[in-house]
Structure 1
Amino acid sequence: MTVFSKPRVLHTAASVAFAVSALFAGAGVAQARDAALPPMFDDLQRRTFDFFWETANPANGLVPDRHPTPSFSSVAAVGFGLTAYPIGVERGYVTRQQARERVLATLRFFRNAPQGDAKGTSTSGYKGFFYHFLDMKTGLRYDKVELSTVDTALFLAGALFCQSYFDGDDPAEKEIRKLAAEIYERVDWTWAQARKPSIALGWHPESGFIPYDWKGYNEAMLVYVLALGSPTHPVQPEAWKAWTSTYGDSLEGKGDQEYLAYPSLFIHQYSHVWIDFRGIRDEYMGKRGYDYFENSRRATYAQQAYAIANPLRCKGYGANVWGITASDGPVDKTLDYGGIKLPFRTYTARGIGGLKHYDDCTLAPTAAASSLPFAPEIVVPAVLEMKQRYGEWIYGRYGFLDAFNPSFDYDIPVSQGRTIKGKGWVDNDYLGIDQGPILAMTENYRSDFVWRVMRGHPVIRRGLERAGFTGGWLRQPEKVKPAAEMAPAQ
């Protein structure tokens, strides 16, 4: 397929779709997908892996929230790092022993990190949950950040992935499985139900629970699946029903374009990193007639359609340059842009939908790249074109920098990054929570690797079934090691 021989060639969505379809007709689907991807994706995947391998603290496994700007560790980024290491083994970037040692260092630290309800920064977590940010060296709470249910869930997903992947008889692999089970099983999900049956966003030892619960369609699918699947402190199935009952205001579009919407694209990606939602449906999606994977596919197309419509007349937006999500930005200042007052922002959860959803013409490559499994026919051309058109400024040692804004061409100081005359604003940091989905979702597209491993984890199956999911791969008999080898639950 010569259409993919040169990564700098721009392809139409139709040409990519044709090439992918043609390849599927031959060898297995995974091999076909792998062969269909341009060489640039090999380079991108290796560079994003290197972010985790080279920037993590090898002594405790903590991954920085961002790099190269000095920062604290993001607990969620650690989860993505734990997911990255087995991918590195499968791709030949590191040996199984090297990955095993890194995972062991990480899980040993989190199992032994101090837990308690003390105020201040003397602990790493409480009730099994962890604080959103931890000091890179000590692993203790950074400043007065919240105890985060979702960031803990992202970390746990990575730990459970390693628990399933490292399935050998080697003493180190047995220890990985034991540590992952201990860390997961001590999480008291019922304690986090401050307003039952919902789960709270977080907690502060100084002030108690955050007055908000996980409601409406968002990344909390993973939170609820892990909470439902717990063998020690599970929430009840009505928690999932209560959560899906708040979806109503999220629906957009009609017919085959209807989908549960959320302006930021990461919402449609995070839970899908570890859970294969293809072909399985809960009661809510059963009534709608499609699954959550299809929902994310439609959300991805909605992002492209928004970029084509380009209501704010942002520079660069188009069929092959799109992707808005939570990301860095240039400044917190309202400036005149083409006759409108445009509020620019630094880090925020940007999304499609104009000013009310914080669109300030800032694009994040992770938004498109991490959607590869959902819509490769539009994602591949987008990744290639962003690399071709802006790569000199936005593509570096660890792949794509977090964000860029071709429309921000003002001669004023910026909060971070830099402004390049005639090219706009470019970030100077890579963010762990945006690097992780690029690596993992590329691998899921190529080989189903993370999905395949997690389909065999009893926690994922149990959580989905208690949420009411049926069909698809859930129809297949459970193929897992005996419970005694997977978890130490008493």
Structure 2
Amino acid sequence: MKRIILPIIVASLFAISCKNTQNAKQEVSKVKAVKSNITDEQLMDRVQKDALKYFWDYAEPNSMLGRERYHEDDIYPDNDKHVVTTGGSGFGLATILVGVERGFVPRQIAVRRLTHMMDFLAKADRHKGAWSHWINGETGKTVPFGKKDNGGDLVETAFLTSGILMVREYFKNGNAEEKALAKKCDELWKGIQWNWYTKGGEKVLYWHWSPEYQWEMNFPLQGYNECLITYILAASSPTYSIDAETYYKGWTRNGTYLSDKEKYGLPMYVKHNGAEEYGGPLFWTQYSYIGLDPTNLSDKLIKNYFDLNKNQVLIDYKYCVENPKGWKGYGPNYWGLTAGYSRNQDGSVGYDAHFPQNDRGVITPTAALSSFPYSPKESMDFLRFMYTQKPEFIGSAGPYDATSINYNNWTTPRYLAIDQGTIAPMIENYRTGFLWKLFMNAPEIQQGLKKLSFKSEKYNIK
């Protein structure tokens, strides 16, 4: 869902069936506040388990992949309930691995479900190896994200592939069934034609390609946003790789994406596409880093990716504490701006990319919760506030996607896969580094990072 093309920030991205409907209502989950003496570890367990439900209990029933969205407050339109999101499903794979590792779901049952998911992906429509943004969970056919966006989506494919590789790494030395699952993951990974998406050898990757409309979407991946992982995977591919020149000429704009600006005394390091004053939505610090460990990670231009992400998060936090627009509720326990469901001026539900330069008075819980590695104290304060004092903001799969104390404790009892999907993985990376270790130790990723002159002493990448 988070197809945010900055700086053209969401006038109306698309109609996503978010309008209040007159459909029959489901019973909205009622959650009681937890006791204030709950420990930090118990709270992290609780929110990880809750977020897992989105992908375990509410998965699309045929493919078992992640639905684009799940609404507690209304019944899905018939053409909507089987829409699978590719990128969100990648985050869901990582979430399920966290569930297995922590004992929230049985390992053997998870292996069978994951195998079913890989079999579905192998038969689903692919466009030069890449999957589309949305897939019909019943048929495997491409569901157009827009008229001309009816083919391969390389960025969503990258988010999915990151999860597929982590599944492979987790199970590759297991029993026969687990090794078979790992083999399926490996075959899917090797079938993606990353270099096709350079449009005939241009030194940049392109987001989309359609068999019908070819390159008409014309969106090169340049400058800093959520797409770094796409270049990492493309450079790491053992079958359809790109070269280092494509990364530095394309993604970094020949190095011109660097910035010497600061905010609140914190260096920004890069020019955030369309959001250079404060930095972009916080999902930019999360999507590429479900598997890619930014800790002391560097390349030719960036000395430490962790500092880059940490500063973006803390700038967002400090902005919310400063609260220049005077929104009720904003403060040290209630902060975090990112893309997701939003509140329109007429009170209806919409979708928007929230960040300091586009602050609508709506706090998206995944923003703070998925920032745990960068802001553990601030994120824990938010988590504790949510569960102990704002039960009306909590549903069956954790905190709802959008909240606003300013608008009389407004919320929408709805979830998006891409938002729920980063919570458990990023909290786990903070707790144990579990997913980071899986991804960063994959042999192809090690080679790809070296090709691009990345360095990480933690993983012996020199």
Residue type of the alignment partner of 2:192: V
> TM-score normalised to the size of structure 2?
0.82
- Note the alpha carbon deviations across 1:207-245, whole angstroms, 9 max, x for none: 222212111111111000000000111011012212123
SS at match of 1:197: coil
Q: Show the counterpart of 2:294.
A: 277
Assess if the C-alpha contact under 8 Å between 1:128 and 1:188 holds in 2.
yes
SS at match of 1:327: strand
SS at match of 2:49: helix
Q: What does 1:182-221 correspond to in 2, within 5 Å?
A: 182-194=187-199, 196-209=202-215, 210-221=217-228
Q: Show the counterpart of 1:381.
A: 381
Cα separation, partners in 2 of 1:334 and 1:54, compared to 1, 3 Å: closer
Write the distance in 1 (CA, Å) between the matches of 2:387 and 2:244.
45
The Cα shift of 1:361 comes to 0.8
The Cα shift of 1:159 comes to 0.5
Write the distance in 2 (CA, Å) between the matches of 1:64 and 1:312.
35
SS at match of 2:212: coil
SS at match of 2:57: helix
1:329 aligns with 2:342: yes
Q: Show the counterpart of 1:88.
A: 99
Q: Show the counterpart of 2:406.
A: 407
The Cα shift of 1:455 comes to 2.2
Write the distance in 2 (CA, Å) between the matches of 1:43 and 1:251.
40
The Cα shift of 1:303 comes to 0.9
1:41 aligns with 2:40: no
Q: 2:266 aligns with which of 238, 241, 257?
A: 257
Mean CA deviation greater in 97-106 or 180-189: 180-189
Assess if the C-alpha contact under 8 Å between 2:286 and 2:422 holds in 1.
yes
The Cα shift of 1:283 comes to 0.6
Assess if the C-alpha contact under 8 Å between 1:132 and 1:151 holds in 2.
yes
Q: 1:240 aligns with which of 242, 247, 269?
A: 247
Write the distance in 2 (CA, Å) between the matches of 1:251 and 1:148.
32
The Cα shift of 1:304 comes to 1.1
Q: Show the counterpart of 1:450.
A: 435
Cα separation, partners in 2 of 1:251 and 1:97, compared to 1, 3 Å: farther
From the two aligned structures, give the one with the greater helix fraction: 1
- Note the alpha carbon deviations across 1:145-165, whole angstroms, 9 max, x for none: 422111100111111000000
The Cα shift of 1:285 comes to 1.1
Write the distance in 2 (CA, Å) between the matches of 1:179 and 1:38.
35
Q: Show the counterpart of 2:449.
A: 464
Write the distance in 2 (CA, Å) between the matches of 1:461 and 1:297.
24
In the comparison of the two structures, how many residue pairs are matched? Answer: 406
Write the distance in 1 (CA, Å) between the matches of 2:376 and 2:174.
38
Q: What does 1:22-61 correspond to in 2, within 5 Å?
A: 37-57=40-60, 59-61=62-64
The Cα shift of 1:295 comes to 1.2
Q: Show the counterpart of 1:367.
A: 367
The Cα shift of 1:471 comes to 3.4
The Cα shift of 1:359 comes to 1.5
Write the distance in 2 (CA, Å) between the matches of 1:53 and 1:130.
22
Bigger CA radius of gyration: 1
Write the distance in 2 (CA, Å) between the matches of 1:192 and 1:169.
34
Assess if the C-alpha contact under 8 Å between 2:62 and 2:137 holds in 1.
no
Write the distance in 2 (CA, Å) between the matches of 1:373 and 1:36.
18
Q: 1:318 aligns with which of 322, 328, 331?
A: 331
Cα separation, partners in 2 of 1:284 and 1:254, compared to 1, 3 Å: farther
Cα separation, partners in 2 of 1:7 and 1:55, compared to 1, 3 Å: closer
Same amino acid, percent of matched pairs:
29
Gaps of 5+ in 1: 1-5, 11-34, 114-123, 336-343, 409-421, 478-490
SS at match of 2:366: helix
SS at match of 1:329: strand
Cα separation, partners in 2 of 1:283 and 1:258, compared to 1, 3 Å: same
Q: Show the counterpart of 1:109.
A: 120
Assess if the C-alpha contact under 8 Å between 2:441 and 2:459 holds in 1.
no
Assess if the C-alpha contact under 8 Å between 1:366 and 1:434 holds in 2.
yes
CA root-mean-square deviation: 2.4
Cα separation, partners in 2 of 1:438 and 1:144, compared to 1, 3 Å: closer
Q: Show the counterpart of 1:25.
A: none
SS at match of 2:209: strand
Assess if the C-alpha contact under 8 Å between 1:163 and 1:177 holds in 2.
yes
Write the distance in 2 (CA, Å) between the matches of 1:238 and 1:361.
42
Write the distance in 1 (CA, Å) between the matches of 2:448 and 2:39.
34
- Note the alpha carbon deviations across 1:187-221, whole angstroms, 9 max, x for none: 11111112711111212333222212111111111
- Note the alpha carbon deviations across 1:350-370, whole angstroms, 9 max, x for none: 2112xxxx2211110000000
